[in-house]
Copies of this chain bind each other. A is one copy, B any other.
Amino acid sequence: MREYNVAVLGATGAVGHRLVEQLELSDIPVKSLKLLASPRSAGEKLFFKGEEITVEVAEADSFEGIDLVLASAGGSVSKKFLPEAVKRGAVCVDNTSAFRMDPEVPLVVPEVNADQLQNHKGIIANPNCSTIQMVVALEPIREKFGLNRIVVSTYQAASGAGQTALNEFYQEAQDYLAGEEMQSNIYPTASDKKHYPLAFNLLPQIDVFEEDGYTHEEWKMIHETKKIMLDDMDASELKVTATCVRVPVAIGHGESVYFEINDDKATVHDLQAALTKAPGVVLQDSPSKQVYPQPIEAEGKRDTFVGRVRADSENPGAFHLWVVSDNLLKGAAWNTVQIAEELVKRDLVRVP
């Protein structure tokens, strides 16, 4: 059996730690593990299968002899280092937005489009967290009934902005409860000019704004959903629009998904039946027993939880879903490792 020399680029931070953890839990035969980060984070020590590993400074030559790279150190870091890694023979699964919309790069959610992996040229992109859980929930429905329109409103957790942001959020919450003023230096997004508290608040801005009034996050959901669900089909076959809101929850994104299918006869029961059989989906949908997805229940789990399947009583073929998943696992670290597992299973850990 082939064993792999693996590197994690961006090993520190909320997603980085979980990448190492999910890799340890995975089926991937790891021969060696190298942990890489910026000079600022190098020196930190992490455990992998009982062995202590020191995080090293990432350089182009760090990827010599590496077979598989899992990257989550920011878009500019991926842009700089992943082509270097590919040049040295490594296949890279990238959790940043750097290559997602590159037509040469497969954008993969294994439950939806694992077959796209065979087209990789060295880099495979992991989608945005809010996109992943939505397509996992909608793909079994699209497959069976067709799908022509999505209107999604997100309820995205604090940890989506990273570990430092999450720490700021906890501090804000503590200050608020103590009756003190909240100090905000990160939310809604570190890279923008103004900062607002997230604790006990709602921030309808994730990432920066584009000229048209949409945020990057909203456009990511729109473009990535089409790329993942439609493969080579016409992008106009599925209309997608999104509103992304950061909410004062630590871990676990919620999504209120409204959608229209091509089958006007399908019932809520039909949709639930399709979801019950769907890979990666756990149907939690029993209103009479108050069973529905909640972030505090989803935390630490790999699945996408789906509930509140309801028909729009006035628009035939239109339905609602409520979708929750751990944004750091299925939304990031687990989906990345899951892609790597698929690459291993299909013997695709080689640069073509």
The answer, yes or no, to whether A17 is at the interface (CB within 8 Å) is no
Query: How far in angstroms is the closest Cβ of chain B from A208?
Result: 9
- Interface residues in A243-265 (C-beta closer than 8 Å to B): 243, 245, 247-250, 252, 254, 256, 258
> Known: A241-B314, A290-B188. Contact between A268 and B204, CB under 8 A?
no
The answer, yes or no, to whether A27 is at the interface (CB within 8 Å) is no
Q: Which of B247, B289, B322 contacts A248 (CB 8 A)?
A: B247
- Interface residues in A159-191 (C-beta closer than 8 Å to B): 170, 173-174, 177, 188
Q: Which of B170, B212, B247 contacts A313 (CB 8 A)?
A: B212
Residue of B nearest to A171 (CB): B177
Chain B residues whose C-beta falls within 8 Å of the C-beta of A293 in the assembled complex: 204
Chain B residues whose C-beta falls within 8 Å of the C-beta of A203 in the assembled complex: 294
Query: How far in angstroms is the closest Cβ of chain B from A260?
Result: 11
Query: How far in angstroms is the closest Cβ of chain B from A287?
Result: 4
Stretch of A50-58, A102-110, A194-202, A344-352 lying at the B interface: A194-202
Query: How far in angstroms is the closest Cβ of chain B from A216?
Result: 12
Task: Decide: B313 and A202 in contact? CB cutoff 8 A.
Answer: no
Task: Decide: A236 and B204 in contact? CB cutoff 8 A.
Answer: no
Task: Decide: A214 and B310 in contact? CB cutoff 8 A.
Answer: yes
Task: Decide: B202 and A155 in contact? CB cutoff 8 A.
Answer: yes
Residue of B nearest to A258 (CB): B151
Instruction: State A212–B196 Cα separation when bound (angstroms).
Output: 39
Q: How many copies of the polypeptide does the oligomer hold?
A: 2
Q: Which of B173, B212, B312, B314 contacts A177 (CB 8 A)?
A: B173
Task: Decide: B310 and A193 in contact? CB cutoff 8 A.
Answer: no
Task: Decide: B194 and A295 in contact? CB cutoff 8 A.
Answer: no
The answer, yes or no, to whether A4 is at the interface (CB within 8 Å) is no
Task: Decide: B256 and A322 in contact? CB cutoff 8 A.
Answer: no
The answer, yes or no, to whether A81 is at the interface (CB within 8 Å) is no
Task: Decide: A245 and B254 in contact? CB cutoff 8 A.
Answer: yes
Task: Decide: A213 and B310 in contact? CB cutoff 8 A.
Answer: yes
The answer, yes or no, to whether A192 is at the interface (CB within 8 Å) is yes
Instruction: State A151–B196 Cα separation when bound (angstroms).
Output: 28
Task: Decide: B258 and A241 in contact? CB cutoff 8 A.
Answer: yes
Chain B residues whose C-beta falls within 8 Å of the C-beta of A254 in the assembled complex: 202, 204, 245
Q: Which of B245, B295, B311 contacts A201 (CB 8 A)?
A: B295
Task: Decide: B243 and A256 in contact? CB cutoff 8 A.
Answer: yes
Task: Decide: B155 and A249 in contact? CB cutoff 8 A.
Answer: no
- Interface residues in A274-323 (C-beta closer than 8 Å to B): 287-290, 292-296, 307-315, 318, 320, 322
Task: Decide: A193 and B290 in contact? CB cutoff 8 A.
Answer: yes
> Known: A155-B202, A213-B310. Contact between A241 and B294, CB under 8 A?
no
Task: Decide: B201 and A249 in contact? CB cutoff 8 A.
Answer: yes
> Known: A173-B173, A249-B200, A295-B202. Contact between A239 and B315, CB under 8 A?
yes
Q: Which of B213, B289, B308, B315 contacts A243 (CB 8 A)?
A: B308
A interface list, Cβ under 8 A from B = 149, 151, 153, 155, 170, 173-174, 177, 188, 192-194, 196-197, 200-205, 209, 212-214, 236, 239-241, 243, 245, 247-250, 252, 254, 256, 258, 268, 287-290, 292-296, 307-315, 318, 320, 322, 324
Instruction: Supply 5 A–B pairs (Cβ within 8 Å), ascending by A.
Output: A173-B173, A177-B177, A209-B287, A209-B288, A212-B310
The 9 closest A-B pairs by CB, nearest first: A153-B256, A153-B153, A209-B287, A239-B314, A243-B256, A194-B290, A202-B254, A213-B310, A241-B312
